Amino acid sequence: MYVAVKGGQTAVRNSRRLVARTRRGPETVPEIGADQIENQLGLSVDRVMAEGALYDRRAAVQAIKQAQGDLVEAVFLVRAYRTTLKRFGNSTPVNTERMRAIRRVSGAFKDLPGGQILGPTYDYTHRLIEFDTDKDADKQAPKEVGEKKHTNKSHTREGKGAQTTEPLHRVTKILIQQGLMEKGTGDLIGEPTQDLTRQPLKIPAGRSIRLQALARGDEGFLLSSAYSLQRGFGLDRHPFLGELRVGFVAVLYTPPELGFEIKIGEIKITECFMINRFNGGKNKAPGFENGYGLVFGQNERKAMSVSLLDRSLQNAENGTEVKYPGQDQEFILAHSDNVEASGFVQHLKLPHYVDFQSELLSVRNLQTPHPKKQLNTRKNTIKTGK
């Protein structure tokens, strides 16, 4: 703490009071409520939950309000809160094929089984700031988000938007059935894995750990890293969006006292499959490979970035020469955690007076000519007669 600064602990207390006053703002302006943040800043809430590694909308909302909208600080608050929570068991792996989807698109298949659902997205909006909001526009909007007519009976309207009630089979199954993609081993489903929220990251890391780290990684860092792959620093071919879906999945848990599975709730997630062409190798036929990403809430950019990096890190794990940052799991995994990165950068604001004094002494010693060195210089001057 800045106890050496004028005022000492009193100055620190006053600084904290100023934070509270600044966070509240002018008393003439109505205070923002939790409901407003949750419903009108929903994508920010989803991001904080994802990077905070805790699906708790109430905690994420309060963290955003307390951090004045600073999402990295809000993520820090959520993670700190998560450490205080009791863990009572592990749920069954969620079945994303039974997802109650509000959005599902594919950039590779036009007519995919189950149809495409545009749902709520900014993809088709004009990037123009609406300073004069037209209140009448809300009256003309569909009563339900993503509402549209479907001839396919598998689409119904339950709750918010057009949602599916029938299983949505993954697009990758089409390629597997045609022999164009290898079937996954399934070793990630139901197998005991290390919990990254309880144990530190160790490099090299298996795929399950990598996916955990990427799922809670900083969206900006992952987005830029995935972008570097597309610019030629990793992937040698254009990837295709096999499938992107957003929706609600059931969380199932078996209480020891009951002995059978029960549904304890639903969570909103984003799942992405990215497809890449593979020309074949010594022990592998030509075909397609896929990368996978799954995150809390509606975080489409992040899910796509995770799937691109997952594919890149898998290739590196299977013997591809690591040339670029996006292929190096130590670089990606060790630097994607925004809480850790923020701590290392922001700790520079804390007092380093003693350290800097030692640096000053070292630099001054380097600048001061050594006595012996001065003597040798004089002798050389006499010899040369200069």
DSSP string covering 86-140: PP---PPPP-GGG-EEEEEE-SS-SS-TT--B--S-STTS-----SS--HHHHHH
The burial class, CB within 10 Å (0-12 / 13-18 / 19+), for 82 is middle
Looking at every residue in the chain, the average pLDDT score rounds to 85
Residue 353 included in any domain: no
Q: Is residue 132 part of a domain?
A: no
Q: Quick one: 228 and 319 in the same domain?
A: yes
User: Into how many domains does the chain fold?
Assistant: 3
Report which of 286, 125, 309, 114 is spatially closest to residue 211, judged by C-alpha positions: 309
This prediction's pTM: 0.84
In a domain, 354, yes or no: no
**Is residue 153 domain-shared with residue 242, that is, in the same domain?**
yes
Q: What is the pLDDT of residue 37?
A: 96
Owning domain of residue 304? 96-125+142-186+194-338
For range 181-205, the mean pLDDT:
76
What order do you get walking across the sheet with 100-105 strand by strand?
100-105, 240-253, 262-278, 287-296
Q: Write down the pLDDT at residue 214.
A: 96
C-alpha distances in Å from residue 85, one per residue of 2, 78, 80, 154, 249: 31, 11, 10, 39, 23
- Report the candidate in 50, 43, 109 with the shortest Cα–Cα distance to residue 75: 50
174 and 267 co-located in one domain:
yes
Confirm whether 290 is domain-assigned. yes
Residue 213 and residue 71 share a domain: no
Looking at mean pLDDT, say which of 163-177, 240-254, 306-320, 356-370 comes out highest: 240-254
| Mean local confidence (pLDDT), 257-269 | 94
Tokens of 67: 């951090």
Percent of the chain with pLDDT over 90: 54
- Shared domain for 239 and 102, answered yes or no, is yes
Answer yes or no: do 118 and 14 share one domain. no
Of 75-89, 97-111, 177-191, 368-382, the poorest mean pLDDT is in 368-382
Task: Say if residue 290's pLDDT is above 60.
Answer: yes
Say what the alpha-carbon torsion angle 184, 188, 191, 192 is, to the nearest 10 degrees.
160
Q: Does any domain span residue 210?
A: yes
Angstrom distance (rounded) from CA 248 to CA 158 = 12
Residue at token pair 């749902």? 119
- Per-residue pLDDT tens for 15-65? 899 999 999 899 999 999 999 999 999 999 999 999 999 999 999 999 999
